[in-house]
């Protein structure tokens, strides 16, 4: 098998799973100071193999005060249909995905349209750690410590015009690298959208990492959206285009199933999916006897985002 | 003759062990904590998959007779049918006990919201009388009615495939494979029913030889 080395990400930075697990155990052991000496002795090796490149990112006050889901679960269980429709497919099929060079074009209703490359983004944006709960429309959830920055700040740099009412995001379209795109399960490329006030809300971020590390390919590298009060499918991955528009974007899941997946897709336990209940969610990483948790309105962010939907019938605008 | 009987008993035991192995595997993975990040879903999906697979295998017995004039498979039909029931029971138990935690509140909240769950439940309820009348005694007691009753399996199979088709989000490929297999299995019966009275093809031996070589 040909292993392609990413230009920006040296091979030494790629951590294999087994090693990672071993280290986790060692780190845990060291933290518990049970075998402190042993842990200390291995510390340089640990640092070399797992650069926490974002470890200096300040912790955001907007984070949940909850224990994140295990790293292994976060990187091995998710939906990313570009790499297959099974939950384990993204981790399996995205390992050779090339995330460099990578540019994002910002266009449409902006005074200064242009492209920005990942290096510039990483250098110029204020990265923070944000611990959010990700609630999937399939009624499961996990808690992820993202590293990212405010989408609003990025958009402001391109100076939106007064006609900018919506923001449309597009994922890379590259069936050669993304085997899932060779099957027409969705109308590729994946498109998502937000209303402009949702897009510039302080909770809305573009993530470049998780657990202090570079975003793994399967989680939407190199750049993905995270909108914590909406179902996971709104948080589009591997973004190459951000377009500000006057019209509401035609989003991928809404096109595929208009009765089932609305444009807003706010987490809402009182509006069920036509085929299943949204009142509760399975907790990823729980055991077989872990009961489901009750889903919260706006995934727990009613105070912060409730006003955006004042006067709207959320059973109609689901 | 006696040797022949021993042979089939041994084969039956082997088939039984093989049919039970997916369940043993589920138990093993559960005990070893190897069910992945969403263990309830893993158990739920695996038991559902095996229910449908055994259902399809059960329904394969008759077409094998019709197309190739084979008979050996009838020795396993009851066992395959009961394994279908067994895996369906595991599937339902995982749903009620683990997914819904046996909570009335959750059942009331969630079951009526899911049409595919209702379809699955209907299929299971129809499966119950078939499992209960599977003993030799019941076959004798019911006589011709036994056959009529057990035609319910066709309805159950259709409901089972609808159950799967209805629950997937957008990727219909896997349930459509089951739909295709079921269409073939039921279609074969229909063709023969229209043709005459369930007699095997006149050219069955020729077809068999063509596909599998001379026996």
Output A32 or A60, whichever has higher pLDDT.
A60
pLDDT at A24 over 80: no
- In the three-class reduction of DSSP (H, G, I as helix; E, B as strand; rest coil), residue A229 is classed as coil
User: Considering just the CA atoms, what is the radius of gyration of chain B in Å?
Assistant: 19
Say if residue A243 is exposed, middle or buried (CB neighbours under 10 Å; 0-12, 13-18, 19+): buried
pLDDT at A76 over 80: yes
pLDDT confidence band for B197 (50 / 70 / 90): low
- A194-225 in b/e burial notation, b at 16+ Cβ within 10 A? bbbebbbbebbbbbbbbbbbbbbbbbbbbbbb
Strands (E), chain A: 103-108, 114-117, 128-136, 140-150, 166-171, 191-195, 205-210, 213-214, 224-226, 239-245, 280-283, 293-294
Say if residue A32 is exposed, middle or buried (CB neighbours under 10 Å; 0-12, 13-18, 19+): exposed
Q: Which of B90, B95, B112, B169 to mutate to test the interface with A (most CBs of A within 10 A)?
A: B169
Nearest-CA distance from A288 to chain B in Å? 5
**Domains of chain A listed by start with CATH number:** 11-51 (no CATH), 53-309 (3.90.420.10)
pLDDT confidence band for A12 (50 / 70 / 90): very low
pLDDT at A15 over 70: no
Q: CA B193 to CA B103: how far, in whole Å?
A: 47
**Cβ neighbours of A72 in B, within 8 Å:** 37
Nearest-CA distance from B150 to chain A in Å? 30
pLDDT confidence band for A36 (50 / 70 / 90): very low
Beta bridge partners of A209: A147, A214
The answer to whether A217 touches A97, Cβ cutoff 8 Å, is yes
Q: CA A115 to CA A103: how far, in whole Å?
A: 6
Q: Name the residue with tokens 């009529």.
A: B148
Q: Which residue of A has its CA nearest to B38?
A: A284
Cβ-nearest to A275 among B36, B40, B167: B167
Q: CA A207 to CA A228: how far, in whole Å?
A: 12
Report the Cα A70 to chain-centroid distance in Å: 16
Q: CA B73 to CA B51: how far, in whole Å?
A: 19
Q: CA B57 to CA B47: how far, in whole Å?
A: 15
Alpha carbon dihedral B52, B53, B59, B60, in 10-degree steps, equals 160
CB contact (8 A) between residue B106 and residue A289: no
B161's enclosing H/E stretch is helix B152-167
Give the per-residue pLDDT at A6.
42
The answer to whether A245 touches A230, Cβ cutoff 8 Å, is no
pLDDT confidence band for A40 (50 / 70 / 90): very low
pLDDT in tens, B83-137: 999 999 999 999 999 999 999 999 999 999 899 999 999 999 999 999 999 999 9
What are the domain boundaries of chain B? 39-212
pLDDT in tens, A87-145: 999 999 999 999 999 999 999 999 999 999 999 999 999 999 999 999 999 999 999 99
Q: Name the residue with tokens 């793994």.
A: A216
CB contact (8 A) between residue A279 and residue B36: no
Give the per-residue pLDDT at A42.
41
pLDDT confidence band for B1 (50 / 70 / 90): low
**Cβ neighbours of A140 in B, within 8 Å:** 38, 41
**Cβ neighbours of B177 in A, within 8 Å:** none
CB contact (8 A) between residue B166 and residue A284: no
Q: CA A289 to CA A279: how far, in whole Å?
A: 19
**Cβ neighbours of A70 in B, within 8 Å:** 37
Give the per-residue pLDDT at B121.
97
Six-digit token pair at A293?
Answer: 């948790």
| Sequence-separated (6 or more) residues with CB below 8 Å from residue B50 | B22, B23, B87
The answer to whether A135 touches A126, Cβ cutoff 8 Å, is no
pLDDT in tens, B157-176: 999 999 999 999 889 999 99
Six-digit token pair at B8?
Answer: 């089939």
**Cβ neighbours of B98 in A, within 8 Å:** 288-289
What value of ipTM does the predicted structure carry? 0.85
CB contact (8 A) between residue B106 and residue A186: no
Nearest-CA distance from A149 to chain B in Å? 28
Cβ–Cβ contacts within 10 Å for residue A56, how many?
Answer: 9
**Cβ neighbours of A73 in B, within 8 Å:** 37
- Size (chain A), residues: 318
**Cβ neighbours of B113 in A, within 8 Å:** 272, 275-277
What residues in chain A have their Cβ under 8 A from chain B's Cβ atoms?
A: 69-70, 72-73, 76-77, 81, 85, 87-88, 138, 140, 142, 183, 185-186, 256-257, 272, 275-277, 279-280, 282, 284-289, 291-292
Beta bridge partners of A213: A210
Give the per-residue pLDDT at A29.
43
CB contact (8 A) between residue A186 and residue B166: no
Distances A112 to A159, A194, A243 between C-alpha atoms, Å? 6, 20, 12
Nearest-CA distance from A91 to chain B in Å? 13
Q: CA A21 to CA A32: how far, in whole Å?
A: 17
């Amino acid at each position: 098998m040909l292993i392609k080395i990413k230009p920006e990400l040296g091979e030494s930075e790629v951590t294999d799973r087994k090693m990672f697990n071993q280290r986790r155990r060692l780190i845990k052991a060291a933290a518990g100071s049970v075998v402190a000496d042993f842990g200390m002795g291995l510390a340089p090796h640990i640092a070399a193999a797992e650069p926490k490149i974002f470890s200096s990112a300040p912790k955001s006050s907007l984070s949940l005060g909850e224990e994140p889901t295990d790293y292994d679960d976060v990187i091995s269980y998710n939906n990313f249909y570009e790499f297959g429709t099974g939950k384990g497919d993204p981790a399996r099929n995205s390992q050779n995905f090339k995330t460099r060079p990578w540019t994002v074009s910002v266009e449409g209703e902006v005074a200064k349209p242009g492209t920005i490359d990942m290096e510039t983004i990483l250098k110029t944006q204020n990265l923070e750690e944000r611990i959010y709960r990700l609630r999937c429309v399939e009624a499961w959830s996990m808690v992820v410590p993202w590293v990212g920055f405010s989408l609003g700040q990025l958009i402001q740099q391109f100076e939106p015009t007064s006609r900018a009412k919506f923001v449309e995001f597009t994922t890379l379209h590259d069936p050669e690298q993304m085997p899932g795109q060779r099957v027409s399960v969705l109308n590729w490329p994946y498109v998502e959208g937000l209303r402009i006030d949702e897009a510039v809300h302080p909770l809305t971020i573009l993530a470049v990492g998780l657990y202090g590390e570079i975003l793994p390919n399967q989680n939407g590298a190199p750049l993905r959206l995270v909108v914590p009060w909406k179902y996971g499918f709104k948080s589009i991955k591997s973004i190459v285009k951000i377009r500000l528009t006057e019209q509401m974007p035609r989003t991928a899941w809404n096109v595929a199933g208009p009765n089932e997946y609305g444009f807003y897709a706010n987490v809402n336990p009182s509006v069920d999916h036509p085929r299943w209940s949204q009142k509760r969610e399975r907790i990823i990483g729980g055991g077989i006897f872990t009961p489901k948790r009750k889903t919260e309105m706006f995934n727990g962010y009613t105070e912060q985002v409730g006003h955006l939907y004042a006067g709207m019938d959320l059973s109609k605008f689901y | 003759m006696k040797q022949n009987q021993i042979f089939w008993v041994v084969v039956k035991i082997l088939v039984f062990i093989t049919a039970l192995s997916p369940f043993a595997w589920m138990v093993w993975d559960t005990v070893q904590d190897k069910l992945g990040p969403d263990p309830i879903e893993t158990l739920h999906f695996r038991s559902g998959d095996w229910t449908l697979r055994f259902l399809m295998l059960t329904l394969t017995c008759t077409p094998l007779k019709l197309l190739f004039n084979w008979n050996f498979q009838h020795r396993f039909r009851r066992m395959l049918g009961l394994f279908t029931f067994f895996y369906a029971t595991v599937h339902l138990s995982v749903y009620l006990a683990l997914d819904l935690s046996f909570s009335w509140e959750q059942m009331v909240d969630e079951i009526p919201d899911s049409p595919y769950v209702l379809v699955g439940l209907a299929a299971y309820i129809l499966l119950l009388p078939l499992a209960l009348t599977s003993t030799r005694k019941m076959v004798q007691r019911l006589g011709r009615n036994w056959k009529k009753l057990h035609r319910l399996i066709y309805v159950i199979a259709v409901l089972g495939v609808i159950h799967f088709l209805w629950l997937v989000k957008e990727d219909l490929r896997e349930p459509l494979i089951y739909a295709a297999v079921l269409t073939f299995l039921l279609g074969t019966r229909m063709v023969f029913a229209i043709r005459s009275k369930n007699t095997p093809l006149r050219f069955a031996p020729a077809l068999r030889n063509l596909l599998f070589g001379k026996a």
